[in-house]
Amino acid sequence: MSEDTRADPEALLRVAAREGRGRLKVYLGAAPGVGKTYKMLGDAATLRDDGADVVIGIVETHSRNETEAKAQGFTVIPRKEVAWQGGVLGEMDIDAILARHPALVLVDELAHTNAPGSRHDKRWQDVEEILAAGIDVWSTLNIQHLESLNDVVASFTKVRVRETLPDRLLDEAEIEIVDLPPDELIERLRHGKVYIPEEATRALGHFFSKSNLSALRELTLRRAAQTVDAQMLDYLRAHALAGSWAAGERLVVAVSELPGADGLVRATKRLADALRAPWTAVHIETPRSARLGPTDNARLAANLSLAAQLGAQVASVPGESAREGLKRFITDVRATQVILGKSTRSWWFELRHGSVVDRLVRETPGVAVHVLPLAEAPAPTDSPPRRPGRWGPPLGHAVSLALVAAVTLAGISVSAFGTVTNIALLYLLPVLFAATRYGLATGLVAGLASSLAYNFFFIPPTYTLTIQDPQNIISVLVLIGVAVVASSLAARVREQAMMAQHSARQNAALAGFARLLTAVRSNGELGQLLCAEVVRLFDARAVFLTLQGDTLALLAANPPEDSLQTLEHAAARWAFDHNLPAGRGSDTLTASEWLFHPIAAGGKVRAVVGLARPEAPAPLRPDQLPMLLSLFDQAGMALERIALEADMAVVTRLEERDRLRSALLASVSHDLRTPLTTIVATLAAMAPASDEQAVQLADARAEAERLQRFFANLLDIARIEAGSLRQATEPVDIADAVASAVHDLRRALAGRPIRLDVSPELPFVLVDPQLFHHCLINLIENAAKYGNPDSPITIAAHRGWQGLTLHVIDEGPGLPPGEETRVFDNFTRIAGSDRTGGTGLGLAIVRGFAEAMGLAVSAANRSDASGADFALHFDEAHLKRSAA
Amino acid sequence: MSATLLVVDDETAIRRLLAASLARVGYKAIEAGDARGALAALAIDKPALVLLDLGLPDRDGLELIPLLKAGGAAVLVISARDATEQKVAALDLGADDYVTKPFDSEEVLARIRTALRHRLAAATEAPLVEIGDVAIDLAARLVRKGGAEVHLTPKEYDLLAQLASHPGKVLTHAHLLRQVWGPGHEHDIEYLRVAARGIRKKVEDDPSRPLILRNEPGVGYRLVPREIPQADRSSREK
C-alpha cells in the first residue's frame, strides 16, 4: 500500500524537468483551415492587452483578411532570409527571439521543415531551444503531422506527410483543440477560406472528404485526451496520489534493418501510450548484422533513431542469433510484452531454422508476444555481400583434390594386399579437412570428388561410375552430408571467433586507452591522447575543445589544426551548451563539416570532441557509436578526475594557510596571555602603602584587565574570521548554561539584579557548549554595560511557534533607531558610549559564534519600556526534546 | 596548615607570583621550571598538591598528570590552553581541577583548599557529605534536605553519589555517564542533563540559580561544597 502511494521518482523528474523551462501550448487541429492560427492570435491578443510581453516569432496569415487583422498590434520578430536555390526563404530568426527574450512567442506551424543551412532541420527543434531558454511558446499543429499517427492517417487519407513531429513534444505541451465540424470546414473550403499550397491541391481534394475529416477529428480528440491523461498521471504520480494505472508493463520492440520496421516502431509507440508503459527498441547484433551493407545500415540507424524520437529507450545488444539475443534481453529488462515483425520468409526458411516467434513464445513464458506483419513493399536492400571465398579459393580446391587423389592411391595400395571393407571411411578425411578449412563449397567439391573416386576405383564394378549395391549409394550420400554439416559447423565457429576477436579488439583498445588515461595530468594531454585514439580507431580527423574562461578553446587536434571555422565553432558551442551532438550526421547545424560530441561527467559537460571524415558520407558509422561513447565515458571520468585534482590542490593550499594561521593564533594567545596574567595578578597581590597608591593600583589593574579582555576578544574575532572554530555539538540545558554564565560573571555584575525567566521544562538545545557559553557571557556583559547602572537584567527563554528564543533584556537608553543590525558589526560602539570601555567586539563575537552554530541573532528595542532586547533564535533543528 | 605545594611553570614571573600568594596564606611552596624538575621535587619533597602548567619545555604537562597522581599529589592544572578538549583530557587523566589563564589568585586558592580537602576525604572515605542544608549519606544511600528525606530516582541518586564522593572536583561527562549508566553510554549527554535537572528540582533552593550542582560548560559537573562561596565572601571583605 505504502509502495503504491510513494511518489514515483521518474514522474517527479518529468514534472521537475518542466520547471524552469518555457511552457509549450499547442493549438491542435484535425486539418488545415479549422482556424488554429486565428484562435492563437486571438488568445495572445487578450494576453498582450493585459500587459504580457508577447511577440510573433513567425505566423503565416496566408493573406487571409480575418487572420491578418488579428495579427495587427503585435511586435513581429523580422524573419531571417535564407538563400535557397536562387530564391530567398524567410525563416524564423531564433537568435533574434532568444536575444529579445519575450515572455511568450507565437510560432506557427510546429511541424515545418526549415530551409537547408538553418541551425536546425525542423522548426520544433528551434522551439525546443526557445523553451529551454525559459520562453513560453504557443504554436499550431495539424494532427497528421504527429509521428506516431503518421501511418494511421496515411492509411485512410492516402496522403503521407513528410513533415513529422515527435510525440513527446505534444506529451509535455498544453493542448488547445481547435475544432470545427467537417461540414463547416468543407463549407469554408468551398468559399476559398482555406489556404492550400498550389502543388497539393489535387491530393488535398481527396484529403478533405467528409469521412476523412470525421476520422481526423476523432483522432485529434482522442490524442488530446490521451495527452491530458498522461499529464494528469504524471501529476498524480509525482504527488503520490493514489490512482489507477497499469503497473509494471514494459514493452520491447525488436528492430531490424528490414524495411517496414519503422511501422513496427510506431505501432509499439501507440501500444505503449495506451498502456502508459515504458518501451525499449532493441536491435540484436548478430554475426549477420555485422555484414550489412550501407543501405541496410542506414535504415537500421533510421529505425532506431525514430524509436528514440518517439520516446523509446534504445539498446543494441550482441547475440549469436536474433532469437537468443532477444530472449536474453527480454529477461534482463523484465519485459512483459514483446513486439516482433513477421517477415514474409519462405516456408522453406522456417522449416530449416524454425520460427523465431514459436520458439520465443515457448522459451519466454509470461511474456506476451505480439506479431505484426512487416507490411511495406520491399525497399532496395543491399545484395548479400560476398563472403570472401564464397565459391572457395582455387588453392583450397587444388589441395582437397590432391588429398582425394592421395587417399585413393593409399586405398589402392592397401587393397592390393586384400579386400578392405570400409575404405569409404578414408574419404572422410579429405572431406572434413576441406569443409572445415575452406568452407562449404570446397567441402562439397571434395565430397563429390571423393564419392566419384570411391565409386570408380573401389565399388564393383570397378573402373566404372555405375553403382550396383544400394549400400554404396548411402556411402556417397554420407560423404556429401558430412561435407555440408562439417562446413556449416566450422563456419559458425569461425564467425563466433571473429565476433569474439572483434569485441576483444574493442575491449583491448578501451583498456589500453584507460591505462594511458591514468597517467594524464592535464586537459591538454588528455585531448592529445583522445584525438590520437579517435584517429586510430575511427580513421577520422579529431579535435578536442574545452572551456577556457568563457570561450571554447581548441586544445588538441590530430592531424594538427589551428582553428575552426565559425560554423564549426558554433556547432561545437551548441554541443557543449546543450550536451547533445551537433554538426554533420546529427540533428543540429548539419551544414558543419564536423560532428561534435559533448563529453560529460559528474553531471557537467567538460569538453567537446569533433570528428570529420571528409571523404566518407558521415563522420561516424552508426555501429561505431557505442565504441565512441565508451571512449568518451572514460575520457569524461579522466577530465573529472583532473578537475578534482586541481580543486584539491587549491584546497590543500588553503588548508596550509589555515594551519599557519591557527599556529600563529595559538602562539599569540599564549605569548600575550602569560605576561598579562602576571601583570594582573601582581597588581592584585600588591599591598598599597597609601590610599593614593590604592587608587592608582586599582586603576592600573582595571586597565590591565581591560587589555586582557580586549586581547581575548580579538583572538575570538580572529578565530571566527579564520573559520577555525571547532565545534562539538551536544544537548545543552539552557537553564544550566545561563546559570554558568551568570556564575562566571558574578564579579562583573557586582550584585546587579538578574531576573531569570527560564522554564526548567524547555527542550535541550543542540549547540557547542563552549561557544554558547561565550555568547551568553558577551550578551550579559553587554546588557550590564549599556543598561542603566543597577537596573535589572532579564534573561528569558521561550518556546515559540518555530523553535525557541532566548532574550537578554536591559533597561536603559536602548539602541538608536536604525542601528539594530549594525550593532553586530566589528568595532561598532553606540555613539556617546565611550565611558563603558568596551572593545566594540563583544556583539560581533556573539554573532560570529551564533552563526557558526547555525543560530540567528537579532537586536531590537523593548516595546514595553526603554532598553534593548537581544535575542538568540534556535530553530527546530537545534532543539532536542528530552527523552525523559 | 603547612602543606607543601609544588608550582610547575616555565614562566618565572608566574611561578614567583603563585609561590608568593601561596606563602602568604601559609603554604610551603616549592618551584619547578620543567617536567624533570617537577618529577625530582615530587620524589624529594612529596608535595600534597601540584599547580601544573601544561606548556612545559621538555614534556607535555598532560603526560605528567598520571605520574604526579601516582606520586600521591593532588593536581590542579593552570593553563593558557582553554579548549574544552584540553580540560576534558586533563580531568580524565586524573587532574583534580582546571583553571585557565588569566586566573584570579583568590579563585586559585579556593580551588586549592577544595582539592586538598578532597584528598583528605578520599583517604578517609567520609560516608556523609553535607552541603548547606543538604546531607548525602553515602552509606545509607539517603539524601536529606532540611532534615526531610528527598526522593531521587535511582539514576539521580547514583549521579549525586558519584559527585558527592569527589566534592568540589569536576567530573567529566564521559566519566559520569560511564559510572552511572555503564560503559557504552559515554556520549549520551542528554541522560545526564535530564538527571541533573531532576536533582536540582529536588535539592536546590532555586533550581534556576543552582548553588550545589554546578555545570562546567562542555566539560562536566561538580558538586560545590559550601566553602567556595564563603571564600568569595571573605575575599570581598578584605
Give the 3-state secondary structure of residue B187: coil
Q: Is A751 on the interface with B (CB under 8 A)?
A: no
Does residue B44 register a pLDDT over 50?
yes
**Domain extent listing, chain B:** 4-123, 126-237
| 3 state DSSP class of A130 | helix
**CA–CA distance, A500 with A320 (Å, rounded to integer):** 11
CATH fold for domain B126-237: Arc Repressor Mutant, subunit A (1.10.10)
Q: Do the chains contact at A770 and B217, CB–CB below 8 Å?
A: yes
Do B71 and B43 form a contact (C-beta atoms < 8 A)?
A: yes
| Residue B137, strand partner residues | B128, B142
Q: Per-residue pLDDT tens for A378-424? A: 444 444 444 444 445 677 788 888 888 888 888 888 777 766 667 77
φ, ψ dihedrals at A481, nearest 5°: -60, -45
Cell numbers for A189 = 473550403
Residue type, A580: L
Contact B92, B170 (CB under 8 A): no
Q: What is the pLDDT at residue A709?
A: 78
For the CA atoms of chain B, what is the radius of gyration? 18
Cβ(B172)–Cβ(B92) below 8 Å: yes
State CA A9 to chain mean position distance: 15
Phi-psi label, residue A229: left if phi above 0, alpha if psi -120 to 50, beta otherwise: alpha
Phi, psi of A284 (to 5 degrees): -95, 120
Minimal C-alpha gap between A868 and chain B (Å): 23
At B171 the three-state DSSP class reads: strand
**For residues A639 and B137, what is the distance between their CA atoms, to the nearest angstrom?**
72
Q: Which three cell numbers stand for residue A302?
A: 533510421
For residue A748, the distance in angstroms to the closest alpha carbon of chain B comes to 13
Cβ within 8 Å, pair B194-A884: yes
| Full 3-state SS string of A512-565 | HHHHHHHCCCCHHHHHHHHHHHHHHHHCCEEEEEEEECCEEEEEEEECCCCCCC
Which of the listed CATH numbers 3.90.1150.10, 3.40.50.300, 3.40.50.2300, 3.20.20.80 matches domain B4-123?
Answer: 3.40.50.2300
Q: Do A883 and B55 touch (CB under 8 A)?
A: no
Q: Establish if A685 touches chain B: CB-CB under 8 angstroms.
A: yes
Pick the CATH number of A9-238 from 3.40.109.10, 3.40.50.300, 3.40.50.2300, 3.40.1670.10: 3.40.50.300
Those residues of chain A that have pLDDT short of 50 are 1-5, 199, 240-247, 346, 377-391, 832-836, 883-884
Please count the other Cβ atoms lying within 10 Å of the Cβ belonging to residue A479: 24
Mutation site, A736, A740, A770, A777, interface B, largest B CB count within 10 A = A736
Contact A783, A777 (CB under 8 A): no
Q: Is A251-373 in the same CATH topology as A9-238?
A: yes
Q: Supply the DSSP string of A299-312, one letter for each residue.
A: HHHHHHHHHHHTT-
Q: What is the pLDDT of residue A163?
A: 82
Provide the CATH topology of domain A251-373. Rossmann fold (3.40.50)
Q: Which residue out of A709, A716, A759, A770 would a mutagenesis test of the B interface target, given it has the greatest number of B Cβ atoms within 10 Å?
A: A770
| Chain A residues within 8 A of B80 when measuring between CB atoms | 669-670, 673-674, 677
> Exposure pattern of B78-105 as b/e (b: 16+ CB <10 Å)?
bbbbeebebbbbbbebebbbbbbbbbeb
Q: Which of A681, A742, A764 sits opposite B193 (nearest CB)?
A: A764
Q: Give the amino acid at B138.
A: L
Q: Is A96 helix (H, G, I), strand (E, B) or coil?
A: helix
Alpha carbon of residue B103 to chain centroid: 16
Quote the cell numbers at residue A765: 538545545
With H, G, I as helix, E, B as strand and everything else as coil, classify residue A254.
strand
> Looking at the domain A725-880, which fold is it?
Heat Shock Protein 90 (3.30.565)
Q: By the 8 A CB rule, do A728 and B218 touch? A: yes
Whole-number pLDDT of residue A482 = 80
Query: Which distant-in-sequence residues (6+ apart) come within 8 Å of B85 by Cβ?
Result: A728
Q: Which of A135, A94, A99, A134 is nearest to A112 (CA)?
A: A94
The cell numbers describing A614, all together, are: 571528409
Check whether the bond before B167 is cis (ω within 30° of 0): no
- pLDDT value for B52: 93
Residue among A669, A682, A740 whose CB faces B215 most closely: A740
Task: Tell me the mean pLDDT in the region B58-78.
Answer: 89
Give B127-136 pLDDT, tens digit per residue: 788 888 888 8
> Taking Cα atoms as reference points, which of A38, A29, A37, A35 lies closest to residue A217?
A29
Domain edges within chain A:
9-238, 251-373, 394-469, 725-880
Scored b (16 or more CB within 10 A) or e, A300-337 reads bbebbebbebbbbebbbebbeebbebbbebbeebebbb
Indicate the pairing of strand B28-32 with strand B49-52: unpaired
Q: Would you say B131 and B163 are in contact if contact means Cβ atoms under 8 Å apart? A: no
Mutation pick from B9, B56, B193, B199 vs chain A, by most beta carbons of A within 10 Å, is: B193
Closest-approach residue (CA) in chain A for B233 = A747
ipTM: 0.84
Q: Do A740 and B216 touch (CB under 8 A)?
A: yes
What's the confidence (pLDDT) of residue A772? 92
A673 vs B contacts (CB less than 8 Å)? 80, 101-102
Please answer whether residues A314 and A523 qualify as being in contact, where contact means their C-beta atoms are separated by less than 8 angstroms: no
Q: C-alpha cell of A775?
A: 555568547
pLDDT at A243 (0 to 100): 36
Q: Which residues of A483-495 are buried (b: 16+ CB within 10 A; e: fewer)?
A: beebbeebbeeeb
pLDDT at A198: 56
Per-residue pLDDT band for B196 (boundaries 50, 70, 90) equals very high
Backbone angles phi, psi at A192, to 5 degrees: 70, 25
**Calpha distance A770→A758 (Å, rounded):** 20
Residues in chain B: 238
How deeply is A422 buried, as exposed, middle or buried, from its count of CB atoms within 10 A (0-12, 13-18, 19+)?
exposed
Q: Nearest CA of chain B to the CA of A879: how many Å?
A: 12
Partners of residue A316 on adjacent β-strands: A283
Q: Which of A170, A120, A128 shows the shortest CA–CA distance to A145?
A: A170
Q: For helices B105-124 and A625-685, give the axis angle rounded to 10 degrees.
A: 100
pLDDT at B17: 86
Nearest CA in chain A to B208: A735
Q: Which three cell numbers stand for residue A141?
A: 499543429
Q: CB distance B218–A769 less than 8 Å?
A: yes
Return the pLDDT at B236. 35
Q: Identity (one letter) of the amino acid at A81?
A: E
Same topology, domains B4-123 and B126-237? Answer is no
**pLDDT, position B6:** 94
Q: Is A95 exposed, middle or buried (0-12, 13-18, 19+ CB in 10 A)?
A: exposed
